[in-house]
Chain A
Amino acid sequence: MKIKYFSIFILAIILFTASKPSAQTAVAPSTKAILFKGGIAHLGNGKVIENSLIGIKDGKIILITDAATARIDGSVFDERITITGKHVYPGIIAPSSTIGLNELDAVRATNDFTEVGYINSHVRSLISYNTDSKIIPTVRTNGILLVQASPRGGLISGSSSIMKLDGWNWEDAVLKSDDGIHLNWPEMNAPKRPRETDQSYNERVKNYNTSISNLTNFFADAKAYSQIAHDEKNIRFEAMKDIIAGEKILYVHTNSLKDIIEVIAFAKKFEIKKYVLVGARDAYLATAILKENNVPVILARVHELPEKMDDDVDLPYKRAAELFKAGVLVCLTNEGDMEAMGTRNLPFQAGTTVAYGLTKEEALMLITSNTAKILGIEDKVGVLEENKHATFFISEGDALDMISNNVVKAFIDGKEIELPNEQLQLYNKYKQKYGLK
């Protein structure tokens, strides 16, 4: 344990009973120019520099090059840190997440992601986003530095925002506000739930047509609305303007093959330029049409069971590779049960895809550069590249494998963030109690 951390730890112990430390223990922003020497740089775009030089200043990466071939002026840097043999990665991005919107699943008061109503294009997750969530530090510890805080529920859930996992409040934590609107596409062939009565099932099936026509009408109205100025505003339609204009992304949560086909047709009908499928469990069966229409995919969990009994037992493990190899732009999400706290396993979900068809560097793309491209933030983050945000982390070992993922340093916009979290503090506290080393 580094001395700096240790002193913070002692402080934490002292303060523990009186007031628990805030999740955000932000260090003052640094204007120092720092050079990292000798790290194995995984650029996030499929490339690796085995012996790298990485320079950061004013929150940006100002230099990234191969130490073996490059000659640089070291005097530019205020501090030089040797990280030989350690791994450097772009900050991992968790798309379609409830981090910051949810604290304890079963405690209603801490659930801040589903609003009342069916069509809520106007609500914004940004407002719920809690920078002091106790989950955030536990996720950062494994290299996740950015999330897309996304609303859930209804037909149209509202707008997500892309957040840096560091900041005093949502205003300064936001990387991109209201990046897109989330739509939960109705299921054409809804599966029958275990023990569901025929009556309840049939009702749900009937609801499909109603939902589709509501959705169609809403988009038609919103489109018409967007064409002229209005004295009397409709805030739901207002929120849709940027989607109609193709300036923001429509995130369509859907899974089955037939629904994917419907979504593509719907997007064509309303000339929606930017849209992304989220979940998309059957997308591996629709690669041709997805490519043809340039539709990217935020793919459902790698660590889940196959949906159907006859499916290949490793289907969820290998879906990402099938999409990737077919040329579909794909990234990974942890959306689902216990998603916020489980997001810290996102690097290992990427790791699993390595055993099922991808290379380690390709797998890394699924949680860094591809995610950035899909979310429309590739100009800022997602790869280790000059002029990109200095949002990255350093791990002692391979970060995609749980036996070697050990993040020792992490930076968001060039600012070093604190990695110990309350869980580590509790561990240390009780180790001390028992006299364990």
Chain B
Amino acid sequence: MKKLLFGLIVFFCYRSMAQETFPVNGTYNKNNTVYVFTNASIYLDYQTKIDKATLIVKNGLIEKVGMGIVVPKGAVVVDLAGKYIYPSFIDAYTNYGITDAKPSPAPQPQIESNTKGAFCWNQAVKPETDASKLFVADPQSAAEMRKLGFGTVLTLQKDGIVRGTSAVVSLGDGNENNLVIANNVTANYSFDKGVSGQDYPSSQMGSIALLRQTYYDAQWYALDKTKKEKNLSLEALIAQQKMPQIFEAHDKLSVLRADKVGDEFGIQYIIKAGGDEYQRIEEMKNTKATFILPINFPLTYDVSDPYDAMMISLDQLKHWEMAPTNPMAFEKAQIPFALSTSDLKDKADFRKNILKSIELGLSEKEALKALTYTPANILGMANKIGALKDGMMANFIITSASVFNEKCIIYQNWVQGIPYEIVNYNTIDLRGNYSLLLDQKNYKIKIAGELNAYQTTVSIDTFKYNAKVNLAGNNIGISFETKSGAIRLAGAVNQKATNSFKGKGQWEDGKWLEWTATFLDSIKAVEKKDTAKVKSEIGKLYFPNMAYGWTEQPKQETVLVKNVTIWSNESSGIFVGDVLIQNGKIANVASSIKVIPANAIVIDGTGKHISPGIVDEHSHIAISNGVNEGAQASTAEVRIGDVVTCDDINIYRQLSGGVTTSQLLHGSANPIGGQSAIIKLRWGLAPEKMKIDGADGFIKFALGENVKQSNWGPRNVIRFPQTRMGVEQVYYDAFQRAKEYELKWKKYSALSPALKLNTAVPRKDIELDALVEILNKKRFITCHSYVQSEINMLMHVADSMGFKVNTFTHILEGYKVADKMKKHGVGASTFSDWWAYKFEVKDAIPYNAALLSQMGVVTAVNSDDAEMARRLNQEAAKAVKYGGLSQEEALKLVTLNPAKLLHLDAKIGSIKMGKDADVVLWSDNPLSVYAKVEKTFVDGICYFDAQQDNKMRDEIAIERNRLIQKMIRTKKEGAPTQKVIFKKPRLYDCDDLETDNED
């Protein structure tokens, strides 16, 4: 760019907007100047480019744009030959000009909201928040965004679960009255309670339940004519339902969770995503949502130290490589998306990151669409911004080249018809190679780098010096340091192309000399083809995208295991024979199977054992963002099923220990916990596909020290209950309310339509819905329990309220009330030998399982521990040692019996023709400490194979090394790096609160 232009002289304060209603101090300065840009290449929208076009701006609007337009008189005319005009960018998700909400930490558990007034009971639900009322222009941030090409943003206070409404604001300077383009634009949500110090919700599943209940409350409030309760929050929420609804989700699974909530209430959210959605793009497509994608990518890790590099996991390495492909994945899947700067720590990375995505395959057209058309649509302002058409707002940028060209310079950003200069397009571009004649010697000068940040070297013979170039107007200064001292040159720049400049300089010793620099040629773009090619090579996506993930999901096979010791759990007992697996089912079990299906894989099982898959009645794996919603005594409304994760390595590890089915339980922080999810360990599939179709619903109850917060420290002494006495009353109260609730609905439902019109609608309560299900035998209780008094108590409550307890879990003093349990018909799911970890387990005995079994109580041994779960066979074996159970009965403790407790014994738990092919092939007697799992099948699919596992280890090592080498190259190329920090994976057990730090 050597050609010089006649440019505009821009005065920020000179051209500004005025407010009609505001008086002026001094004389009025009306300015209706018309600006005309000619000969530019103009993008009318993301897909329409016209060349040699004209754009006319008047009063902040585009008067006319197109080709063959007559230039009006009395206008400022700018010739933009060789330059480009684009509609300026729109960011559909910012908090520009909004101050952060302030946290108010409470010294004690905060049970109620701190928000004063007639608002929602929960502090994280604040739909009454109106961003336009909080908005105060922030010139510094605005300038930063304008520099990137943005002209308009959506802004909101990103705090709370129901966040209120957003505003569309302009990134100009000046008075807010002019900058706020629209208020109450979108309604906003998240699962993050933000600064709210209120205890509830303390987990993501709690956030989901709170949001669902709030929607139901709004529906009810809208219908309720009595309005006994004035609720400004619900009124605001009702009023917002017509706006576009934006949900901020931080990761791919939260996206799916948000969409599921939306589906329940007929709401199609626009989803602000987290950046890892490429890992489940099919599921993203199925949400039918428009997305707002962040454009922040993980920094390169410093892996130069191989010991440090061991601390980084394959999922981090792969995400580092693949995060920039996220927008491309959406483009390929034809999912509409906008791009946002919102998650960028340093906004300056925006351009660099977009270019990286483009380099990896995102099309420029899609990138432009994601910055103009799509966000304009999200804002509902496609008729005003995001394109350049007659009558639209004069929001555009003038650039030196195609906007996604690496070299492109944004000269000016026009916002609402006001120009903001970023780079003066009169700036002389000095970049090039020169020969410097100095003291009769020929030096070479190379000026490269960016227009405002030159990188300059001066060289002679084999010497090379870094130099500094300063350009002020037409005065140039060049200085560099040699061994003997600094040489400083000053001179004048010739304004014409192929600059040569000359002047005087001062030598190291202070002597003045003449110098001349003559332009030789332009800097050649570095041949990047090869490195670019290496860069764009991206590893395969794994399911899940981590170590031991699949590149291809394993499929159902026909497998015949011959001559194997079969632990049938049926009347046939333990015997040597053949097992045929076909179409996901056990197709045949016999002492000898003669007819071998053609496609069958035949395994010689001589000396080996085959057992039903292990069923863990009490597990907390595969759960994200909290296992306890312990903030209230009853949280029957929360559902583990809402927060199942498929990315937990413990799923794979437990497959390696023969586990095929797990009940994922809520924790034990409160008497009535949340609803369980029952999954099969279908490693690699999305959460919804791991859940067992048609399984009965379960719910966690809990008794004893955890629910009365005995070991929670001195801070937690105010939430009811704090004693076993209180626990009983929580149950009576809850079930009494549930009964009354059910009756209320029954009465209402029985009314004629006419009468219904004149009757108050009962409020739907998702907590009580779950309890009513228990009363109606549609949901079943697994109750965490230790001492006999409370076990007895719950059975009494159940008898008097008309329900049954399905399972007592832990039940370490079950042996003391085995007769009563038998009579109640409740099952037991216990630990093999745990005790002495708190006061209430001091009487726990390892003979418990054996004694309960002998008493005819259906008894299981469970894990409650991600480690122990992969050795549940060994834990079952302890019942042989402690209490002398037969080996056959002992294995049932972790297979058939838990299947019975989960009401799944018709499908799993034994090796019987027609049952699901959930089986484990062992190297030895499965109860022996010396036994190893060779293969684990779920639905006839081999999800764990010891030999394949060995191969995967090699593949993991290769893939790790490839990525580490790539990181090192990237670092060498100058990418900023971050230190490797080993992040301990989160493991849950019953007592864990999401708010705790885990050591």
Contacts and interface: CB of A to CB of B under 8 A. Distances in A.
A104 to B, nearest CB: 6
A257 B834 CA distance: 32
A309 B648 CA distance: 9
Contacts of A401: 877, 928-930
Given A201-B981, A305-B653, A427 B845 contact: yes
A355 B932 contact: yes
A312 B652 CA distance: 11
A88 B615 CA distance: 36
Nearest to A205: B981
B855 interface: yes
A431 interface: yes
A258 B307 contact: yes
B911 interface: no
Given A191-B984, A403-B877, A308 B929 contact: no
Given A104-B839, A106-B711, A426-B815, A403 B307 contact: no
A364 interface: no
A78 interface: no
B305 to A, nearest CB: 9
A205 to B, nearest CB: 9
A11 interface: no
Nearest to A423: B845
B843 A304 contact: no
Interface residues of B, number: 78
B982 A308 contact: yes
Nearest to A304: B867
Given A309-B315, A341-B837, A427-B851, A193 B997 contact: yes
B842 interface: yes
B330 to A, nearest CB: 27
A103 interface: yes
Interface in A320-363: 338, 340-342, 344-345, 348, 351-352, 354-355
B649 to A, nearest CB: 5
B816 interface: yes
A104 B311 CA distance: 35
A430 B881 CA distance: 18
B837 A104 contact: yes
A257 B308 CA distance: 10
Contacts of B819: 434
User: Which of B315, B838, B984, B998 has the largest number of chain A CB atoms within 10 A?
Assistant: B984
A47 B890 CA distance: 33
Interface SS, A side: loop
B929 A355 contact: yes
A423 B930 contact: no
Interface string A194-219: 11100011000000000000000000
A256 to B, nearest CB: 8
A135 interface: yes
A229 to B, nearest CB: 43
Contacts of A104: 836-839, 841-842
A426 B982 CA distance: 46
Interface in A259-284: none
Interface string A34-69: 000000000000000000000000000000000000
Contacts of A189: 308, 311, 980-982
A103 B313 CA distance: 38
A189 B928 CA distance: 39
A399 B219 CA distance: 65
A406 B710 CA distance: 37
A206 to B, nearest CB: 14
B837 A308 contact: no
Nearest to B306: A257
Contacts of A403: 877, 880-881, 887, 890, 925, 927-929
Nearest to B957: A310
A138 to B, nearest CB: 8
Interface in B223-252: none
B956 interface: yes
Contacts of A434: 818-819, 851, 855
Nearest to A191: B982
A427 B883 contact: yes
Interface in B983-999: 983-987, 994-999
A208 B907 CA distance: 55
Contacts of B705: 106
Contact of A402 (B818, B834, B868, B929): B929
Contacts of B985: 194, 309
A192 interface: yes
Interface in B517-553: 546-548
A105 interface: yes
B983 A194 contact: yes
A400 interface: yes
A338 B989 CA distance: 14
B877 A305 contact: no
Contacts of B618: none
A302 B883 CA distance: 26
A308 B311 contact: yes
B150 interface: no
A405 B881 CA distance: 7
Contacts of B302: none
B981 A192 contact: yes
B688 to A, nearest CB: 23
A351 B932 CA distance: 12
B844 to A, nearest CB: 8
A18 interface: no
B232 to A, nearest CB: 34
10 nearest A-B pairs in the assembled complex, by CB-CB distance: A106-B838, A351-B929, A427-B847, A194-B986, A341-B836, A191-B982, A310-B547, A423-B845, A105-B837, A401-B929
Given A351-B930, A403-B877, 11 more contacts: A103-B836, A106-B705, A191-B983, A194-B985, A194-B986, A308-B313, A402-B877, A402-B881, A403-B887, A403-B927, A405-B881
Interface of B: 307-308, 310-311, 313-315, 546-548, 649-650, 652-653, 656, 705, 710-711, 815-816, 818-819, 833-839, 841-847, 851, 854-855, 866-868, 871, 874, 877-878, 880-881, 883, 887, 890, 923-925, 927-932, 949, 953, 956, 960, 980-987, 994-999
13 contacts: A104-B842, A107-B838, A191-B311, A195-B997, A303-B871, A305-B987, A308-B313, A341-B835, A355-B924, A402-B927, A423-B835, A426-B843, A427-B883
